[in-house]
Amino acid sequence: MPKPATAKKGTAKTRTETEKGRTRKAIKVRESEKRSTEKTRPQRALVEGELSSPADRSHVLNDLVAESRSSDEQVSLGAIDRLGRMDDVRATVCLISCLKDPRFIVRMHAAAQLGERRDSSAVESLIEVLHDDSVFVRQTVAGALEHIGGDRALRAVKKAETEGLLLNELPEGRRLGPPAEE
């Protein structure tokens, strides 16, 4: 009879120690998640317009500029996405510089973000990219120019069409601007 009681005590003790170990592990995971959230909070806040200090804004912008030049394509694309949502003229300048990136997907994403921003200061740089090696970049640039609008932008797209730089028919996909009314 004493053996079952001992077995229960041993089992209870083992279970308690295991639960304590799991609890410690869970606390460490939560602390780690909290630290990673704290690191990204300034960038999120800048995009959402919560940072008021010019020093904070410059610091985050500099971080995003560095990330946009990362050798990791996904890091670059993420930074370009956040720059596209920033309400800061310097973000437009950085996005324009991304149009010269050697990776076509980065150039394409930067052009799309510039089109979404509708910043007319990007028109000249986008027009230069209408002669890009990648048809995907050219198509995205044409869409961005059309989205920004203006005589100069629309004339450049027309000229690129007549020069045969653009596809006659675009495949279905994401279009810039408001959804078409049916």
For 68, phi then psi, to 5°, come to -65, -20
- Give the span between the Cα atoms of 142 and 105, in whole angstroms: 15
CA distance 53 to 71: 30
Say what the pTM is.
0.64
pLDDT of amino acid 12: 53
Half-sphere exposure of 57 (CA within 13 A, CB side): 14
Higher pLDDT, 10 or 180: 180
Residue type, 84: G
Q: What is the pLDDT of residue 58?
A: 83
pLDDT at residue 173 tops 90: no
Residues 122 and 148 sit within 8 Å (Cβ to Cβ): yes
Render pLDDT for 17-66 as a digit per residue (tens, 0 to 9): 555 556 666 566 566 555 544 444 444 444 445 555 677 778 888 899 99
Secondary-structure class of domain 17-162 per CATH: mainly alpha
Question: Which has the minimum average pLDDT: 1-15, 45-59, 86-100, 106-120?
Answer: 1-15
Could you tell me which of 40, 84, 35, 85 has the C-alpha nearest to residue 63? Answer: 40
What's the chain's average pLDDT? Answer: 79
**What are the structural domain ranges in the chain?**
17-162
C-alpha 92/C-alpha 94 separation (Å) is 5
Residue type, 117: R
Confidence of residue 88 (pLDDT cuts 50, 70, 90): confident
